[in-house]
Amino acid sequence: MMIHLRKDETVLLYGKISTIGESEQTEVVQFLEREYRDESSGYPFSPPSFEPSAAIWAAQTVYVIAQLLLYRDDPAKDLEALLPDYQGPVTAEAILSADLCLRFIPDILDELKLIDDEDSLIELIQQLLKKWHYSGMSALETPEQLDFTVIQSNECLQMLYCNRVIEQKHTLFYENTFLKQHIDAALGLYKNQFWNELTTHE
């Protein structure tokens, strides 16, 4: 599934809710580390190092959420147990390593809402994306109450975050005081050329 997810942005499942087995975890981490190395070669400034614990946690999380989309007999049963929080510190390394997989969750969330917009899993996913908002930005309406401490502390992540706001043309995130100044600096004289809607936010 991880290969299909990363290469084709598709999910391949096998009909039952399970986690990534211990025997498979090393292989998954090695694959994601290669993906991170290839992707981070184009990052600005000095890329944070790969964080394997965050990468495998994110892979497990996406794997389970994708299965929960299809294979639940009881929609509310054992959701929190199946989706534990990340136990390590949320650093720039963890955010970017987890993003290899977490970036696909907003699309899964959209599918879940189409199936049942009152599903209790939706709230769990939304809370997860508020914590990992670099990955969940497209699913979040506003940056209010989000913690930008780690984003501010790392030049590479800060620039990548602003680039993602620009790519998604997320105007409410642009209005955040911290993000606005860096996005304006990044776009410079070409701001209106790249993002016409910003003229209404001057």
Of the listed ranges 35-39, 45-49, 70-74, 139-143, the least confidently predicted one is 70-74
If you average pLDDT over residues 139-165, what whole number do you get? Answer: 95
Whether the CB-CB separation of 176 and 183 falls below 8 Å is answered with no
Q: Which of 117, 141, 120 lies closest to 129 in space, CA to CA? A: 141
Of the listed ranges 25-34, 66-75, 106-115, the least confidently predicted one is 66-75
| Angle between helix 177-187 and helix 155-168 axes, rounded to 10 deg | 80
How many Cα neighbours within 13 Å face the side chain of 124?
Answer: 22
pLDDT digits (tens, 9 = 90+) for 79-103: 888 899 999 999 999 999 999 999 9
Residues 6 or more apart whose Cβ sits within 8 Å of residue 169: 195, 197
Question: In this structure, is the dihedral angle defined by the CA atoms of residues 85, 31, 121 and 13, taken in order, positive or negative?
Answer: negative
Q: What is the pLDDT of residue 198?
A: 67
Q: Which amino acid type is present at position 83?
A: L
Q: What is the pLDDT of residue 75?
A: 53
3-state helix, strand, coil in the chain (%, to 5): 65, 0, 35
pLDDT digits (tens, 9 = 90+) for 100-118: 999 999 999 999 999 888 8
DSSP 3-state assignment of 68? helix
Q: What is the pLDDT of residue 3?
A: 74
pLDDT at 76 over 70: no
Q: Which two tokens stand for residue 68?
A: 């929960």
